[in-house]
Amino acid sequence: WVFRTGFVDPDAAVDLGLLAKGFHIVTGPVPYNADGPMTPHWNAVYKHLTRHGFSSRPVMEGAGGAAGEAYAWAIENPDKVSCIYGENPILHSTLAKTQPLDNLAPLAKVGVPILHVCGSLDPWFKEQTGVAEKRYKELGGKITVIVKEGEGHYPLAPKNLQPVLEFIAGNAK
């Protein structure tokens, strides 16, 4: 299953591809107020689903700013995550005490594989994914970055979904 940290758009190509492969897409508690997500709410969703037969190691998924929340929950629960998928991620979180970009060691320590799909013209590409890739590799972590040349922050999903679907399906537990 995929524990998604943002709303699912009607044209969310990766999610549609995963649904076709039998995955469940679960949107965690996304608040409508300025307080941001709250860790106890995310933990409650995780506990409820795992008590009802869902895998104890979901895929974490987030796009843009929501990716930071996926990372934050994964960093707090690295043994409960099979992999992380981010589209043009901005690694800032209201959940985290230490921002995800500065706290990747817990993920690397347990070997959580990461995949980012980014537009080469995305304004946060170098300062977010570029820095995350360098730091994660230095920590011994495995991160793959797919760059969409000439594209900006939107659209998020790649045109060729196969590498993304294979990454997620191959790492899901």
User: What pLDDT, on a 0 to 100 scale, did the predictor assign at position 11?
Assistant: 75
User: What pLDDT, on a 0 to 100 scale, did the predictor assign at position 32?
Assistant: 56
Reduced 3-state DSSP string for 91-142: CCCCCCCCCHHHCCHHHHHHCCCEEEEEECCCCCHHHHHHHHHHHHHHCCCC
User: What pLDDT, on a 0 to 100 scale, did the predictor assign at position 7?
Assistant: 81
- As a whole number of angstroms, the distance between CA 125 and CA 170 comes to 25
Q: Cα 123 vs. chain centroid, distance in angstroms?
A: 19
User: What pLDDT, on a 0 to 100 scale, did the predictor assign at position 153?
Assistant: 84
Tell me, what amino acid is at 144? T
Give the chain's residues under pLDDT 50. none
Token pair, residue 117, equals: 């799909």
Token pair, residue 93, equals: 């979180």
Task: Please state the pTM of the whole predicted model.
Answer: 0.93
Q: What is the DSSP letter of 146?
A: E
User: What pLDDT, on a 0 to 100 scale, did the predictor assign at position 35?
Assistant: 57
